[in-house]
Structure 1
């Protein structure tokens, strides 16, 4: 096994990688002040973006859950990598050749486990795509053709074919150097009493990619009548693939989702293909499971879904009973979104793929445009189950639909949908409102919650100066005069946490060291800080300062001046107290020394003010 990666190589990788570019592949980031970006935290569910990234210092911090770190720790946490795996992945992206301690040179084997699994999937994807052109795959090509997909379309989405043999892919991967433990962990093969065999056999396969574009699994469609397996067979949960977190097509749709502030959720792989080819390039699909809470987290990050209106989520469902139930399940998850949610159902029950076949691309675009609010659809679907032509039916409809309205957690929307329900069933609005209120009291709704916001700044103006001065020291060290700042003692900081951060700055070499190596300064302070304050250091290193871009230097110097003046005031008060305790005659020499120090302090104060 190779030794540790050399420190200079790690620093070289860090210097070449922009942390906001890496995090931006997982989180939609937007400007949050000078040099800072923010988005919805990928580590906890939130409605207001509190996750900040500061490229200049190379750190991120979430003011909601406290997660923080650099680009390597982000990959470690988001993709469950070791530190070595994270460095190796980024080194490969930016072209840095890594060297290892103990003279062992670049590590070739064993590579990071996750990277090996990704490599196996890349090899499998290329193999399946190649097999689609084989004579055996004629049935797969016909399947695609029958649904209006050309060979170019299949290539665009990476569609391939898994041969019917029991070990075709297995033998291919073994030939490329992958071991049995690696193959077993990949989900590409299964294990029986006689050993390993191909999981996907005699099927069309779609590569399932994560938001960065890496293939992490496959979805496979049955083609032969003698195949007794499920119609669709997906990769099982593996270290790479979690079906409740994966959205098929997210790699293709992510930019348009962020640009248009729209995400269209369809039911299958061919529906995603049909939508994208028709021009609805924000379409994604779940992979063999219902659209749930983890999918919503992914979607919200792509939408940058926060307290303001950020766009729309459109669910497309088949027009049959299963589709109706799916829509009602979506209603249960809907209110995790701030974005408006809609349902688009084709009146003849056609899915997007069938609709494109029957009526062309324009019909798919029109389906999305014809969306209805999800609340309205949920109410209408409930009413469709009863007979509204009778008094008994209308009363039953009220009893069935009132809990649906009560389940709308937005208090501003609930009265409007109560009126909508009243109009549908012909019952006075007052009666409907009473029924909704009664359903709410029985537990049909949860109390409205204010969105979680970032931590507010301190109400104490002195602590605010301390905090902002430390932000300046961490974020803009080149603006900070080393002689003055490094001469400060921790006593200037009233807050124990601020005192501890100052100690970490001194332990990292002070501002004088920051001027020698500004690129790694904040990370060096983080490394010198005890674990108990590491989160505070990260927070101060990324929290935006309330200043404009053309005002950075002046603002930073003004904050530092306030801190220096606080220190002068503190020292001056101590000296005046000491002077009062001295005897003018017996302690004349000491009193003279104190007076001299006070004079020097006053000169410093005038110099700071002049500057």
Structure 2
């Protein structure tokens, strides 16, 4: 440890056990933190590195160069690498199988004296930091902090302002608190009080080694066991509530998690626990549960300064390296699904934490894998989930979304319990999201008559229209659609093209065809464009139902922005609309839209596109409600499920009323 600490430096202490609970999630500031090497020693050349301390929020603190060099010299390279592959001594060096690629003959060499490693098979090599970067898919700052944790070295963080130190200090306190709660739960799993939880885990095929690896825990069935423990450890009541481990009751603080199996939710690096998921044991409801109805099967930590559900994925800390190696990540629904799949050697599986997938989740995954595979039921809910996921993935820049269709009545944990062979069979059935959706539409259609076959292939048009590559689109038509409906692929493609060029009927408004070059590829965005073009150019054609259109009916931020400007313009004239827009680039695009040719200019067509826009918004909301019922079905109370079912029925009536022209004023 360096004898000199620069003025203003701050020591940050972790709280979790050192056993594979790795380094804090960090990433370099732009410019000046990339990994540089010098000569054959592969030594990172940098004076200091900028880090991100919590939840991806930048903090202007640096790890000093003295710490980086001292830690490199202190680390036992053979011990670090030995956790990932077996090493055998060969003179002053060690040899083994390379953990970075598949091989049968050892070509991996470690030289502890020089602090270097090299694989003669794949050509990779470097120091301890480079090894952790490669094997764990870490950035350089993450590798430094991971190595510091493994060796018990305290890093020095420099150049923080007083405000940054205060904010970091508060987040550090909350992270330390949640980490202490994780230890409390984990320790109680192995006491007499946790025997029922251990029995349940054993029934699910999980032994002590698995419980240790995933740091599972048990929340005692007491009102304030954790509250007392954390208070005695020096944490304040407000901190317990802010960290999401306690709630305020009439007689004081109560443990949020009581009588539940605990799943700690780590940050992406695996260093810090951010929150928890808690599951009641079958046939053993907590004695401290509310008396009005059965407790939900799962509860999760509420959002906090350190835990944001839309950004966190359960198991990413364990899955990131394998996801990067396979260039694929598998997204499932539950904590037990992730654990079961990892135990079945599918170590690239993650899950959302009691919430639907978000664009931010996809952005997190895109850092590690080009392909995201969703485990979905092959039903209407799965179709809606795939549709929503594709839109979110496109927004986040994920290049490929695929689906693992689940057998009826089974979840990924059931597959894993059936054995590795069954899992491999299921993974072999992974298909692209569009293929999954087209197959579902065709499977649920009546293709026993010519009329049914025609209706079936036309149902696939909105999906086919989203495929910009005409060759790829033709492959879907030829290989999937045409064999089912017993028509030639050329005939179906010709009708798809014709439908796009003649959008004069109500069917053509809703059937998405291949877009014209000047139009968006997405049929929803084309519909929004038509509506806004009408509002700009021919407001006299807008039907009375235009007054019921709202900002929520548009999915594109640009469309919503223009709609708000239209609503805010005093006269509704183009000049007023342009003045309400934020910048010249937006005004330029709106001027072009206002001057583009209208496909048709009659009131009937205007009414059709307005109604289609509103029905599409209702369909999206119905899909979201169904997805919530499906993804959170185990967590919802009976009343919540009834309320959601009632909401779906209400939306269906509204949609049908718009379609049939029976909508009230």
Query: Scaled by the length of structure 1, what TM-score is found?
Result: 0.56
1:246 aligns with 2:340: no
Counterpart in the other structure of 1:79: 56
C-alpha spacing 1:24/1:95, structure 2 compared with 1 (3 Å): closer
Q: Secondary structure at the match of 1:265?
A: strand
**How many residues align structurally?**
394
> C-alpha separation between the residues in 1 aligned to 2:381 and 2:268?
29
C-alpha spacing 1:249/1:439, structure 2 compared with 1 (3 Å): farther
What pairs with 1:181-580 in structure 2 (closer than 5 Å)?
181-213=238-270, 214-223=272-281, 224-225=284-285, 227=289, 228-303=294-369, 305=370, 312-319=371-378, 322-335=381-394, 336-357=396-417, 359-419=418-478, 420-437=480-497, 438=499, 442=509, 444=512, 447=520
Task: Give the C-alpha shift of residue 144 in structure 1.
Answer: 1.6
Counterpart in the other structure of 2:190: 133
Counterpart in the other structure of 2:199: 142
State whether residues 320 and 349 of structure 1, in contact with CA within 8 Å, keep that contact through their aligned partners in structure 2: no
> C-alpha separation between the residues in 2 aligned to 1:113 and 1:410?
51
> C-alpha separation between the residues in 2 aligned to 1:366 and 1:393?
32
Per-residue CA deviation, residues 260-289 of structure 1 (Å, 9 max, x unaligned), is 211111111111111111111111111111
> C-alpha separation between the residues in 1 aligned to 2:11 and 2:413?
48
State whether residues 279 and 299 of structure 2, in contact with CA within 8 Å, keep that contact through their aligned partners in structure 1: yes
Match of 1:162 among 190, 199, 219: 219
State whether residues 398 and 435 of structure 1, in contact with CA within 8 Å, keep that contact through their aligned partners in structure 2: no
C-alpha spacing 1:320/1:219, structure 2 compared with 1 (3 Å): farther
Task: Give the C-alpha shift of residue 319 in structure 1.
Answer: 4.7
State whether residues 441 and 459 of structure 2, in contact with CA within 8 Å, keep that contact through their aligned partners in structure 1: yes
> C-alpha separation between the residues in 2 aligned to 1:12 and 1:128?
27
> C-alpha separation between the residues in 1 aligned to 2:178 and 2:23?
22
Task: Give the C-alpha shift of residue 229 in structure 1.
Answer: 2.9
State whether residues 410 and 448 of structure 1, in contact with CA within 8 Å, keep that contact through their aligned partners in structure 2: no
> C-alpha separation between the residues in 2 aligned to 1:401 and 1:246?
34
> C-alpha separation between the residues in 2 aligned to 1:377 and 1:204?
35
State whether residues 330 and 373 of structure 2, in contact with CA within 8 Å, keep that contact through their aligned partners in structure 1: yes
State whether residues 279 and 365 of structure 1, in contact with CA within 8 Å, keep that contact through their aligned partners in structure 2: no
Task: Give the C-alpha shift of residue 148 in structure 1.
Answer: 1.5
State whether residues 206 and 219 of structure 1, in contact with CA within 8 Å, keep that contact through their aligned partners in structure 2: yes
> C-alpha separation between the residues in 1 aligned to 2:318 and 2:167?
32
Task: Give the C-alpha shift of residue 355 in structure 1.
Answer: 1.9
Counterpart in the other structure of 1:553: none
Counterpart in the other structure of 1:64: none
Counterpart in the other structure of 2:620: none
C-alpha spacing 1:23/1:114, structure 2 compared with 1 (3 Å): closer
State whether residues 447 and 485 of structure 2, in contact with CA within 8 Å, keep that contact through their aligned partners in structure 1: yes
Task: Give the C-alpha shift of residue 315 in structure 1.
Answer: 1.6
Task: Give the C-alpha shift of residue 81 in structure 1.
Answer: 6.0
> C-alpha separation between the residues in 1 aligned to 2:482 and 2:186?
55
Task: Give the C-alpha shift of residue 164 in structure 1.
Answer: 1.5
C-alpha spacing 1:86/1:202, structure 2 compared with 1 (3 Å): farther
State whether residues 164 and 202 of structure 1, in contact with CA within 8 Å, keep that contact through their aligned partners in structure 2: yes
State whether residues 25 and 53 of structure 2, in contact with CA within 8 Å, keep that contact through their aligned partners in structure 1: no
Q: Which runs of 5+ in 2 are unaligned?
A: 13-21, 38-42, 68-140, 504-508, 523-665
Q: Secondary structure at the match of 2:336?
A: helix
C-alpha spacing 1:353/1:99, structure 2 compared with 1 (3 Å): closer
Per-residue CA deviation, residues 429-466 of structure 1 (Å, 9 max, x unaligned), is 344324544369758477369xxxxxxxxxxxxxxxxx
The farther-off stretch of 167-176 and 407-416 is: 407-416
State whether residues 132 and 141 of structure 1, in contact with CA within 8 Å, keep that contact through their aligned partners in structure 2: yes
Task: Give the C-alpha shift of residue 408 in structure 1.
Answer: 3.1
State whether residues 10 and 157 of structure 2, in contact with CA within 8 Å, keep that contact through their aligned partners in structure 1: no
Counterpart in the other structure of 1:578: none
More helix by share: 1
C-alpha spacing 1:299/1:392, structure 2 compared with 1 (3 Å): same
C-alpha spacing 1:23/1:430, structure 2 compared with 1 (3 Å): farther
C-alpha spacing 1:97/1:302, structure 2 compared with 1 (3 Å): closer
Task: Give the C-alpha shift of residue 216 in structure 1.
Answer: 0.4
Q: Which runs of 5+ in 1 are unaligned?
A: 14-20, 37-53, 60-69, 306-311, 450-611
> C-alpha separation between the residues in 2 aligned to 1:108 and 1:12?
11
Task: Give the C-alpha shift of residue 129 in structure 1.
Answer: 0.9
State whether residues 280 and 365 of structure 1, in contact with CA within 8 Å, keep that contact through their aligned partners in structure 2: no
Q: Secondary structure at the match of 2:347?
A: coil
C-alpha spacing 1:71/1:367, structure 2 compared with 1 (3 Å): same
State whether residues 22 and 71 of structure 1, in contact with CA within 8 Å, keep that contact through their aligned partners in structure 2: no
State whether residues 411 and 448 of structure 1, in contact with CA within 8 Å, keep that contact through their aligned partners in structure 2: no
Higher RCO structure, 1 or 2 (CA under 8 Å, sep 6+): 1
Answer with 1 or 2: which has the greater Rg.
1
C-alpha spacing 1:436/1:192, structure 2 compared with 1 (3 Å): farther
State whether residues 6 and 99 of structure 1, in contact with CA within 8 Å, keep that contact through their aligned partners in structure 2: no
Per-residue CA deviation, residues 24-45 of structure 1 (Å, 9 max, x unaligned), is 9559x9xx99949xxxxxxxxx
C-alpha spacing 1:96/1:241, structure 2 compared with 1 (3 Å): closer
Query: Scaled by the length of structure 2, what TM-score is found?
Result: 0.52
> C-alpha separation between the residues in 2 aligned to 1:234 and 1:118?
16
Q: Secondary structure at the match of 1:161?
A: strand
C-alpha spacing 1:439/1:286, structure 2 compared with 1 (3 Å): farther
Per-residue CA deviation, residues 240-268 of structure 1 (Å, 9 max, x unaligned), is 11111111100011111112211111111
